[in-house]
Structure 1
């Protein structure tokens, strides 16, 4: 069923008061390794969840457990903590074409825009009848329209210029989770409860469901590589799989170790695939060419990295269980 609605736009904190604090950085020794692993304790951020590049050397990070968004500068270790409003519980964050941070704000059942200059917060609530959508992942299409998922069975889109929001029922009900855009401009999402991935027609909002070959795999998050292949983290099966959107073929690889639980997936600019395994309390780097895994276990128990992102030479994750960010540098800094 299609639902259409024009938003009433809310404001949460015109000045968005924020604290400027200093993070503590700890480098994890890895003798002989080409990788440099650094942890950043984030004061003022509780439940450091999704993270993304802010475009100026800083990063945005969601504090899901205390309703905040952090603007972190790893060069100075300073972090500005921005309150998103009463009852906020931010999940996903993406940098928009306007430079602002756009957040799926599950606590207030709204999309939040945080200005990159003033840090003012503007809310776009979901329409009536779509309460408790359990908002998850946002992504912009090539026309600047924001698409987002909600685990309680919705896919939505928001025009940032007009404020028009449309919310659609997802196939098979509950489950929409991770979402990605391919270089060719296609929008894809994964359904954790539905055990599928799907393409969204950006014009008509029609869905094309694709079932992975492993039954009940628990497709959780998705990310596209430079060849328009969709990489899928399979929570239930403990696999990472890839779907070739041109040939329609699948490949899959089991993560190493006993009973892996694959949570997040991120593909860097070299088409290397980054994953997190909750069972191993580790981040893994997978090379599709050699089909080999490289493991980076956390130095603290219960790290629970639920999402990863990055920029050239750096992979970043939020340790939601330790209130930290972790950076893995693949290129030695100058």
Structure 2
């Protein structure tokens, strides 16, 4: 399907749009990692920005919580943030000093689950702010993105271990090594086919892993594209950002890879989300949100 790419300026250069999610209010919410703010893009193009009282806190990845608020990681001051759709923000400390919380996702147990880049741990936080941490069996694994799987467990990428880990809601961890050395997986999402899909920023590939640990790889034509984040659309297609190439990639259910180049130089797309209408949103480091909408007719 042909897509129209639109760039919407949401911040000044250097503010760093990074994570993005479509909120329950229909707004597109995003983090400004270098400005220490959360932003909201309305359907009419209006942008609102909310300070977090800590400009250096480094808000990174965000997700919709079970309570209808947006939850996000603050990787530089090691806290988990929460913001209502009316812009009221709060945060909770992570117990392990210097943990570096990064990926975050809503779990099947009514809590939020997050990764700790620097501490080789997976964290769980209730909507009341109670945190539990679970150690990973690999030192220096650099756990990155996390997602709820179709099997009732959480799945996360282990960037420096070239592996994908599964953690049950009870804290039991299993690690699945990936076949290609140097894959350096980052983004991961649940697909419509009952499997998990990830992207390898080092290997230049999209990978599929079943709940039993069977892996299939789809190498990109441009192995230097540095795919970063991935999400599944309502039609089952997988959308991912190609940070090093300034493109939005897509993998269809038939295994066909395609891509959409973003206009202008130095786009540096990071987070990605798909709205219920099929529109794709990506956060661009240079200060924009890219919107790819299906071409009518």
- Does the 8 A contact of 1:52 with 1:59 survive in 2? yes
Aligned to 2:240: 232
Aligned to 2:204: 195
Question: Which aligned pairs between 1:58-207 and structure 2 lie closer than 5 A?
Answer: 58-75=69-86, 77-117=88-128, 119-127=129-137, 130-152=138-160, 153-161=162-170, 163-174=171-182, 175-203=184-212, 205-207=213-215
- Does the 8 A contact of 2:52 with 2:89 survive in 1? no
Aligned to 1:326: none
1:268 aligns with 2:279: no
Q: Distance in 1 between matches of 2:117 and 2:219?
A: 27
- Does the 8 A contact of 2:37 with 2:59 survive in 1? no
Q: Distance in 1 between matches of 2:167 and 2:144?
A: 14
Residue 25 of structure 1 and its aligned partner are, at CA, apart by 8.8
Q: Distance in 2 between matches of 1:150 and 1:272?
A: 29
Q: Which segments of 5 or more consecutive residues in structure 2 lack a partner in the other structure?
A: 1-35
Residue 64 of structure 1 and its aligned partner are, at CA, apart by 0.2
Is the radius of gyration larger for structure 1 or structure 2? 1
Over the aligned positions, Cα root-mean-square deviation in angstroms equals: 2.4
Residue 98 of structure 1 and its aligned partner are, at CA, apart by 1.1
Q: Distance in 1 between matches of 2:40 and 2:230?
A: 29
Q: Distance in 2 between matches of 1:86 and 1:79?
A: 19
The runs of at least 4 aligned residues of structure 1 exceeding 4 Å deviation read 23-28
What secondary structure is seen at the aligned counterpart in 2 of 1:222?
A: strand
Q: Distance in 2 between matches of 1:34 and 1:72?
A: 21
1:216 aligns with 2:221: no
Residue 221 of structure 1 and its aligned partner are, at CA, apart by 1.2
Aligned to 1:282: 288
Residue 88 of structure 1 and its aligned partner are, at CA, apart by 1.4
Q: Deviations over 1:141-187 (max 9, x none)?
A: 122111100211121001113x3211122232231000011233221
TM-score in terms of structure 2 length:
0.80
- Does the 8 A contact of 2:79 with 2:91 survive in 1? no
- Does the 8 A contact of 1:182 with 1:226 survive in 2? no
- Does the 8 A contact of 2:109 with 2:169 survive in 1? no
Residue 91 of structure 1 and its aligned partner are, at CA, apart by 0.6
- Does the 8 A contact of 2:81 with 2:89 survive in 1? no
Aligned to 2:16: none
What secondary structure is seen at the aligned counterpart in 2 of 1:284?
A: strand
Aligned to 1:6: none
Q: Distance in 1 between matches of 2:40 and 2:293?
A: 24
The size of the alignment, in residue pairs, is: 259
Which of 249, 260, 263 is residue 256 of structure 1 equivalent to?
Answer: 263
Residue 132 of structure 1 and its aligned partner are, at CA, apart by 1.2
Residue 286 of structure 1 and its aligned partner are, at CA, apart by 1.0
Q: Which segments of 5 or more consecutive residues in structure 1 lack a partner in the other structure?
A: 1-22, 292-334
